[in-house]
C-alpha cells in the first residue's frame, strides 16, 4: 500500500497507537467523538473519567449536546497532557455511519488546522467498524487541507503528525490513502484554469500513473483525428490549447491468484470523466457570474483520475480502465457554432443547438472509445447540467442508467461512505426531445424541462448495450461557501464511492 501518488501535498504523517489512556497521550490536541444523550461509553467515557467527569458536567449543563458536527474546544482540560480537547458530535449513536464519522472527523480537523500543530490525536471508538475507522481517518486528513493553493498565508495548516488511538493499523493506512485521493481531486479542481488545461492535466495524469503503476495513453490532436473523435475536436476548436484524451489502465484482477488467463478474460470496470478544464460557454457565452467557478467543470475527470490512483495504491483485486476527455470550451475564431452538425466517433450525427451543452459532446467520443474496451460496466462522472442542481440541490448527485443492477451498485457504494445520490428516470419518451430535424440527435432537449434527463439520454446513445450509469455531480462537486467539514471550493465528490465500488468488485 502506497501513498506516493500525492507527494508533498498530503496531510503529513498519519500513525496509530493500538491503545492509550487519554491522560497519557502526548499531543497538542486530542479529539473525542461524542454521541447525543450524554457521555455514554467508549472513548468519550474514558475521557470523561480522565478529566474528573468534565464531559458529563458540561453535557448536563447543556454545553455539550453531541449533535452532529457540533465542535466544542475545551482548553487545558484537567487530567490531560494535551493543551486542547475537542469534542465533536456524531448524533444519535444508533444512526452513526461511516459518512457521519467522515464529516465529524473533518469538522474537528478543520477547526484545529486553523493554526500549525505538530501532533494531534483522534480517539477511535471500539464499537466502530473497520469501514467507519477508514472513513473517519480519511475525513480528518481531508479536513485539515484547505483551499490555499495560491495564498501567501494559508488558512489551514496540515498537522505534522496525526495519531489515531485504538484504531486498526490497516484501517488507518487505507483511510490515509483514500484521503490522498480526495485531496488530489480537490487540488486539481481548485487550480486556476490558466494552470490546469488539457495538456497540463494530461501531464498530471502521466505523473500520477508513473507513481502508482497505472498504464497510460495520451491521445493528441493527430491521434484524435485518426480515431475520428470529431466531437472532442469540435468543442476544442475555439481554444488555443488543443484537446486531449487520456486512457488509464489498472490490472489488479490477478492479485487474488486467478492467474494471467483470468485477467485477460475478465472484463474491466470502466470510469469516464468529463474534463472541460474551463467552460466559457463557447459562443453561447455564459454571464460572468456563471463563468467564475467554471474551472470546476473538470471535476468528473479529477474524480476518476483520483479514484484510479487510489485503487492502484490500495492494490485492489480488480481490472479498471479509465477514459478522460480534456478540452477548453472557448470563443476563438474557429469555435464551433450553433447549427453545426458533428459526426461523432460512433457515426452518430449531432446538431449543435447550444455550445454551452459541450460536456455531453465531449463524452460522446470518450464513451465510444471506452465501449471498445468491452467493459462489464461503465460509470461516467460529469458536472453536466445546472438542471440537476435545480432538481436535487447542491449536495446530491443525480444517477441515470440503462441497467438497474449497475445503478444499484453505484448507489450502494455512495451510501456506504456517506455521499448522497438519487436516481432519476430514463423513460423512452425523453428520447423524443433530443431528436433533430437535420441530424440524428441534437445536443439539448426541447425547452427547459427535464434537462438533466435529456442530457443523460444523449449520453446513452454512445454506450450501446453496455451496462452504464451516469452520475451528474454538478451540485456536490464544488461548494461556493465553506461548511463545518470543508473549506469552500472543490469537495472531491464521488472519489470515495468509486473506490468503494471497486472494492465491492465493481
Could you confirm whether 457 is annotated as catalytic? no
Give mean pLDDT, residues 102-107.
Answer: 98
Is residue 269 a contact partner of residue 451, using CB atoms and an 8 Å limit?
no
Q: Which domains, from first to last, does the chain contain?
A: 13-179 (3.40.220.10), 191-503 (3.40.630.10)
pLDDT of residue 4: 54
Give mean pLDDT, residues 268-294.
Answer: 97
Is residue 143 a contact partner of residue 109, using CB atoms and an 8 Å limit?
yes
Query: Structure pTM?
Result: 0.95
Q: Map grid coordinates 471508538 to a residue.
A: 125
Residues 360, 371, 377, 457: which is the catalytic one?
360
Q: Element (H or E) spanning 85, and its range?
A: strand 84-89
Give mean pLDDT, residues 195-221.
Answer: 98
pLDDT of residue 275: 98
For residue range 240-275, what is the model confidence (pLDDT) as tens digits? 999 999 999 999 985 444 444 444 556 899 999 999
Model confidence at 20, in pLDDT bands (50, 70, 90)?
confident
For residue range 176-193, what is the model confidence (pLDDT) as tens digits? 999 999 999 999 999 999
Strand 349-351, strand 441-442: pairing: parallel
If we measure between CA atoms, which residue out of 364, 367, 390 comes closest to residue 475?
Answer: 390
For residue range 326-383, what is the model confidence (pLDDT) as tens digits? 999 999 999 999 999 999 999 999 999 999 999 999 999 999 999 999 999 999 999 9
Alpha helices in 51-195 (DSSP H): 54-60, 98-112, 130-143, 169-190
Is residue 98 a contact partner of residue 418, using CB atoms and an 8 Å limit?
yes
Strand partners, 14: 162
Residues 57, 211, 249, 286: which is the catalytic one?
286
Question: Backbone dihedral region of 162: left (phi > 0), alpha (psi from -120 to 50 degrees) or beta?
Answer: beta
Using CA atoms, how far apart are residues 297 and 265, in angstroms rounded to an integer? 35
Could you confirm whether 360 is annotated as catalytic? yes
pLDDT over 90, % of the chain: 90
Amino acid at each position: 500500500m502506497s501513498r506516493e501518488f500525492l507527494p508533498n501535498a498530503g496531510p503529513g504523517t498519519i500513525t496509530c497507537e493500538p491503545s492509550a489512556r487519554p491522560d497519557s497521550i502526548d499531543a497538542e490536541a486530542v479529539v473525542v467523538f461524542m454521541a447525543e444523550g450524554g457521555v455514554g461509553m467508549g472513548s468519550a467515557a474514558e475521557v470523561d473519567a480522565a478529566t474528573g467527569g468534565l464531559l458529563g458536567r458540561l453535557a448536563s449543563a447543556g454545553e455539550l449536546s453531541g449533535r452532529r458536527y457540533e465542535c466544542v474546544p475545551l482548553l487545558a482540560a484537567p487530567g490531560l497532557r494535551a493543551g486542547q480537547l475537542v469534542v465533536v458530535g456524531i448524533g444519535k449513536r444508533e444512526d452513526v455511519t461511516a459518512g457521519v464519522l467522515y464529516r465529524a472527523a473533518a469538522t474537528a480537523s478543520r477547526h484545529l488546522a486553523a493554526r500549525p500543530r505538530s501532533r494531534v490525536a483522534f480517539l477511535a471508538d471500539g464499537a466502530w467498524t473497520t469501514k467507519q475507522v477508514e472513513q473517519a481517518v480519511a475525513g480528518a486528513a481531508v479536513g485539515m487541507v484547505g483551499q490555499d493553493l495560491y495564498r501567501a498565508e494559508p488558512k489551514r495548516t496540515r498537522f505534522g503528525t496525526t495519531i489515531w488511538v485504538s484504531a486498526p493499523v490497516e484501517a488507518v493506512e487505507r483511510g490515509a490513502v483514500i484521503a490522498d485521493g480526495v485531496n488530489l481531486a480537490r487540488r486539481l479542481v481548485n487550480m486556476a484554469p490558466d494552470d490546469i488545461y488539457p495538456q497540463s492535466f494530461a501531464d498530471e495524469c502521466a505523473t500520477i500513473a508513473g507513481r502508482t503503476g497505472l498504464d497510460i495513453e495520451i491521445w493528441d490532436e493527430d491521434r484524435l483525428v485518426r480515431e475520428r473523435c470529431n466531437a472532442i475536436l469540435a468543442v476544442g476548436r475555439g481554444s488555443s490549447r488543443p484537446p486531449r484524451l487520456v486512457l488509464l489502465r489498472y490490472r489488479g484482477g490477478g492479485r487474488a491468484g486467478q492467474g494471467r488467463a483470468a485477467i485477460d478474460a475478465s472484463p474491466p470496470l470502466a470510469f469516464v470523466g468529463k474534463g472541460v478544464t474551463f467552460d466559457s460557454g463557447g459562443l453561447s457565452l455564459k454571464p460572468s457570474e456563471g463563468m467564475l467557478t467554471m474551472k470546476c467543470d473538470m471535476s468528473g475527470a479529477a474524480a476518476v483520475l483520483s479514484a484510479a490512483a487510489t485503487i492502484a495504491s490500495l492494490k485492489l483485486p480488480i481490472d479498471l480502465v479509465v477514459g478522460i476527455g480534456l478540452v477548453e470550451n472557448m470563443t476563438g475564431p474557429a469555435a464551433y457554432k450553433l447549427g453545426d452538425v458533428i459526426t461523432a466517433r460512433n457515426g452518430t450525427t449531432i446538431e449543435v443547438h447550444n455550445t454551452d451543452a459541450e460536456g455531453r459532446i465531449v463524452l460522446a467520443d470518450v464513451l465510444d472509445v471506452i465501449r471498445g474496451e468491452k467493459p462489464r460496466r461503465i460509470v461516467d462522472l460529469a458536472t453536466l447540467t445546472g438542471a440537476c442542481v435545480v432538481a436535487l440541490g447542491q449536495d446530491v448527485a443525480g444517477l441515470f442508467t440503462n441497467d438497474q443492477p449497475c445503478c444499484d451498485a453505484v448507489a450502494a457504494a455512495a451510501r456506504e461512505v456517506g455521499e448522497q445520490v438519487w436516481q432519476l428516470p430514463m423513460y423512452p419518451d425523453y428520447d423524443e426531445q433530443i431528436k433533430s430535424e437535420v441530424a440524428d440527435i441534437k445536443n439539448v432537449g426541447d425547452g427547459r424541462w427535464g434537462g438533466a434527463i435529456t442530457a443523460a439520454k444523449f449520453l446513452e446513445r454512445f454506450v450501446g448495450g453496455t451496462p452504464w450509469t451516469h452520475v451528474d455531480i454538478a451540485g456536490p462537486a464544488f461548494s461556493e461557501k465553506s461548511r463545518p467539514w470543508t473549506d469552500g471550493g472543490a469537495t472531491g465528490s464521488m472519489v470515495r464511492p468509486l473506490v468503494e465500488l471497486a472494492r465491492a468488485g465493481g
